[in-house]
Structure 1
C-alpha cells in the first residue's frame, strides 16, 4: 500500500464552493497565459487553460532544497559527458546499431567532430526530473529523491512552471489561506532560462544577430514557447527571436555563408534554441531535409541549445551507464560530487544482448510491475509499464532491438488527494502523484565552464493510475510544491 501525504489545506468543498473557486481559477488561468492549444479541437486562434490541480501539492522541504542544490552538479555532469567524445562513442556503440534515430544523431556528431567544430561554446538549458521514492510500508520521513531522467533538449515548462505557482497563490488566497503563501517557493525559471540564452547571445558578440527557436509545424504548448520569446525581448529589447521548423530550414529557409555563419532571411543567427527535433516523427520528409537542416545548424557558428553532443548526453543509455558502479568516477575526480549524484540514482539496467542484459530481462519478465521499459526517446508517451514490460521483452528475446531500451526500477512516490481540473471536464477528486523538475543553465567550451546555475523548477502531477505524466502530451496537470517539514 502506497504512503500518503496530507493535502496542504482542506479540499472538502460543497458543490457551490467548488464551482465558484474552479470557475474563477479557470478564468484566471486564461487571462494570465496558463494555457495550451487543444489537440482535439485545434485552431491557431484559440487556446484552453492548461490542466491543473486545484491546490498545490505537499512536498518535503528538505528534499526540494536538496534537488535545488544538486542541479549545478547535474549541469556539470552533462557538460563533462558532452565534452567526452570517447565516452559517448563507447557508451552509444551498441545503441547506434539498433536504434536508427540515435544512430542518425550520432552520425551528425561524428561528422562535425571530424570536420572540426565551428562553435566551441555550448549552451545547456537542462531539466533534471526527480520523484520521491521509498521502500513499501516505510514512513513518509524515509522518502527521498530518485532521479527519473535528465532532459537536455526541449526541456519545457520554463513559463508554465512559474505560472502554475502564481495560479496557486491566487487559489490559496481565494480559499482564505494567504498566510501560507511563504510555503510556495519563488520560481524564476523563465527569467533564468531566457537569461541563459541572452548570455550566449552576448558571448556570440554580434549585436544584429537573432535567436532562432526551432519549433514544430503545429505548436500546442504555445504559451510556454512564446513567453520565452517575450521574456527575451523584455530583458533585452534589441534582441529579436525568429521561429522556424526544421522542414522550413531544410527547404531553403537557411544557408551557411563562407564563414559558416547561419543566415536566415539575411539575418545572422547567434543562438539556436531547439523546442523540436527530439523525436523521429519530427524528421518526417522522405528526402531527409530536416536531417540536412540539423546538420547545417550543427556545422554553423551559431551557439546551439543543445548542441548534438548535449543532445546525446541526455540519452537514456548514457543515464543507465552512469548509474553503473565506477562510471561516475570516470566523469568526476571528486568523491563528494560522485556521492551526491549517486544518492539520487535509482536502479537502471542494460538490456544489451549479453549475459547482463539477459539477467535484467528475465528479472523484469518475472516481476514486470517493478520496472519501466524506456526507449531512447523524449517527449512523453514512449515508456512501457506493467504487464506490457514482460510482453515486450518476450517479443524481443534474441532480438538486437532489445538493446535500444533500458530497464529502470519503478519509483513508488507517496499519493496525495487533489482536485484535477481539465478543459471541458468536471473536476475530479483523485489520488495523484508528482514529478519535480529542476532547471539548470550551463555555458562552456571543452576547456572550461563559463556559467553554471540553477534555474527554477516545475511540478507535474498525474492521476496515480496513469503511466505517463506529460502535460503537453495530455497526460498530466500543472502543479506547484507546497513545502513542509516531515
Structure 2
C-alpha cells in the first residue's frame, strides 16, 4: 500500500439513490447555468453559424483525490518545464536533428515533415518575428508501484491547442458549489473547503496572451484565434475572449484555415499580418494581428488541402507572434520527450551556465525534481547504447534493439506516435502484432514508454450528456492532472518570461486506454487534496 493516510479504494463515498439523483440534478443544472458546455453534435459535422442549443460537458460528481505534496510538486516544476520547452524551441540545430525531415522524425512522418520543411524554407529567408509565445500544459498520472511511495509521472507535454483551461476552472467551481449546497451529505471527512484548491485558469491564460499583445506593441491590433471547422468546444475558448476584452481591452477575431486562405494577407514591406473583415464590421475593412493563437493545426486532418499548409506558412512568415510557432509545435513532439530522458539532456537546456548565464540556469536539485517526473522511455529505432539511431538495422531490414526491447516488455508498455488529440497509442497486448506490421523505416516516429501504474480501485460517478437517461455511471477510474503555464521568449537576449497559471483534471474509466475529453474518452474533473 502506498504511504498515504488516504485510502484511494474508498473513493467515491457511498450515496443513497436519492442523494445520487439530487446531486446529479444539482451538477447538471449548474453546468448548464454556468457555461460548462459543449455544442451538440450534428449530422453534418458542421455547426450552425448562429448556435441555438448546447449540452453540458462530461463531468464527474466528486472531485478526484490527489496528494497535496504531489500537486505542489507539479506546480513547482512547471517553471522548469516552461523554460525547458522555450529553450528547445529556440534550438534550431536540436529540432532539425530530432524532428527534421532530413534526419529526424519528419523523415518518416509526412505531417511533421511538411511542417518542418515549410519552417526550414522560412528560416532560410529569415524569420521576421524573433519572439515566440506558448500556452503549455504538462500532464501527469499518479504512479503507485508496489511497495513504493506515490509519485507523479509525466504523460506528455502539450505545446499547441492546449485545451480545457476554461472549462476546468468551471468544473472546480461546480464541485465547490456541490460542497456548499449539499456538503456531499457528510459522506467523507475529506470533503471540506480547505481541500478544494482554487483554480483561476481563465485569468492566468488570458494574462499570458495579453503579455504577447503587449510585446507586439501596436495599439488596436487584435489576437487571431485559428479554430477548427465545426468546433464544438467553443465554450472552452470564448471565456478567454471575454477576459481579454473585459480586463485588457483586447479584441479577438476567430477564423478557420479555410477562411484565412481568403482573408489573410501580409504587407510586402513590413510582413504585418492583416485579416480582411466586412467594412460594416470594421471601418478599414481589415485588422492587424498581434498574436496568432492556434486552437487548430495540431493534426493532419486540420490540413485538408495544400492550401491549408500554405496558410499556416503565411501566418508563420508574418511578424505576428505565434502561439505556438512551428518550432514550438515541433518541440512538443513525443520524440523530444523521449530524448529529454537521455543523460545530460536536461543539463543542456537548463544547466549550461556558459550559454544561459549564471542567472539563467537551474540548480541541480531543481533539474532532478523535474527528472523525477519522467517514466522510462526509448525510441523504437535506437541502437543498444540507447542513445543513437540504429541506422544499420533499418538499412538491413532487421529489428533494432529498441524494437526487441519493446517486444520483451510489451505488457508494461505503451507505444506513442507523433500525434495529438487522443486515440493514437498502442497498449500492452496489442504491441507485438503492431510491431510486426510497422515498416522498419517508420520506427523512428514511435517511442516506447513504460506504463504508469495508477492507484487501484478508485472510482467516481461520471455524467455525460446525450444519453437517454443522463444517469451517472459509477466506474473504476484513472485521473490525470494537467498543470498550465505560459512562456514569452526569444529576441536577442533569449530571455524567457513565464508563469504557472492553473490546472485541470480529466478522469476516465480504467477500461479506456485513451484520455481525450473532446474525443469522448474522459470527463472533466477537479481536485480534492489529501495527505
Secondary structure of the 1:468 match is coil
Q: What aligned pairs does 1:298-377 form with structure 2 within 5 A after superposition?
A: 298-333=316-351, 334=362, 335-352=364-381, 354-355=383-384, 356=386, 358-377=400-419
Is residue 245 of structure 2 the alignment partner of residue 236 of structure 1? Answer: no
Deviation at 1:8, TM superposition (A): 8.5
Q: TM-score, normalised by structure 1?
A: 0.94
Shift of 1:484: 1.0
Structure 1 residues 78-123: Cα deviation after superposition (integer angstroms, max 9, x where no partner): 0110011111111122311100011111112212221111111111
> How far off is 1:40 after superposition?
6.1
1:7 to partner: Cα distance? 7.4
Task: Please list, as runs of the form range in 1=range in 2, the aligned pairs for 1:428-467 lying within 5 A after superposition.
Answer: 428-446=473-491, 447-467=493-513
Partner residue of 1:190 out of 195, 202, 206: 202
Do 1:21 and 1:174's aligned partners in 2 also have CA atoms closer than 8 Å?
Answer: no
Change (3 A) 1:450 1:342: closer
Q: How many residues align?
A: 477
Q: Distance in 2 between matches of 1:80 and 1:337?
A: 16
- The answer to whether the aligner puts 1:163 opposite 2:163 as a matched pair is no
Cα displacement string for residues 335-359 of structure 1 (whole angstroms, at most 9, x for unaligned residues)? 3332122111111111126555622
Secondary structure of residue in 2 paired with 1:176: helix
CA deviations 1:43-77 (Å, max 9, x no partner) are 54221111111110110000000000110110000
Contact 1:442 1:449 in 2 (8 A): no
Preserved contact between residue 80 and residue 367 of structure 2 (Cα < 8 Å): no
1:389 aligns with 2:440: no
Q: What do residues 395-436 of structure 1 show as CA deviations (whole Å, max 9, x unaligned)? A: 125x20121111111111114111111112421111111111
Q: Among residues 434, 438, 447, which one is paired with 1:406 in the alignment?
A: 447
Contact 1:94/1:352 (<8 A) preserved: no
User: Does 1:75 pair with 2:93?
Assistant: no
Distance 1:10 1:109, change over 3 A: closer
> Could you list the per-position Cα deviations for residues 295-349 of structure 1 after superposition, in whole angstroms to 9, with x for gaps in the alignment?
0111100011001111111011111111111222221224333212211111111
Is 1:215 the equivalent of 2:227? yes
| Contact map agreement 2:260 2:311 (CA 8 A) in 1 | yes
Given that residues 11 and 460 in structure 2 are in contact (C-alpha distance below 8 angstroms), is that contact kept between their aligned partners in structure 1?
no
Q: Quick one: structure 1 residues 352 and 138, their matched pair in 2 at CA, closer, same or farther if it must change by over 3 Å?
A: same
- Structure 2 residues not aligned, in runs of 5+: 277-285, 352-361, 391-399
8 Å CA contact 1:328–1:338 kept in 2: the answer is yes
Against the structure 1 CA distance between its residues 103 and 190, is the aligned structure 2 distance closer, same or farther, given a 3 Å change threshold? same
Residue 26 (structure 1) aligns with = 28
Aligned to 2:393: none
Q: How has the CA–CA distance of structure 1 residues 299 and 377 changed in structure 2, closer, same or farther, with 3 Å as cutoff?
A: same
2:462 maps to 420
- The question of whether the paired residues in 1 share the 8 Å contact of 2:383 and 2:402 is answered with no
> Which of 253, 264, 272 pairs up with 1:261?
272
> How far has the Cα of 1:197 moved from its partner?
0.6
- Confirm or deny that 1:6 pairs with 2:18: no
Contact 1:7–1:58 under 8 Å retained in 2: no
Q: Verify: 1:97 aligned to 2:126, yes or no.
A: no
Question: Which entry has the higher C-alpha Rg, 1 or 2?
Answer: 2
C-alpha RMSD of matched pairs (Å)? 2.0
Assess if the C-alpha contact under 8 Å between 1:131 and 1:146 holds in 2.
yes
| C-alpha distance in 1 between matches for 2:113 and 2:422 | 21
SS of 2:521's equivalent in the other structure is coil
Conservation of the 8 A alpha-carbon contact between 1:125 and 1:439: yes
Unaligned runs of 5+ in 1: none
Query: Which of the residues 50, 53, 58 maps onto 1:46?
Result: 53
Q: Is the Cα contact below 8 Å between 2:229 and 2:256 reproduced in 1?
A: yes
Q: Is the 8 A contact 2:8 2:455 kept in 1?
A: no
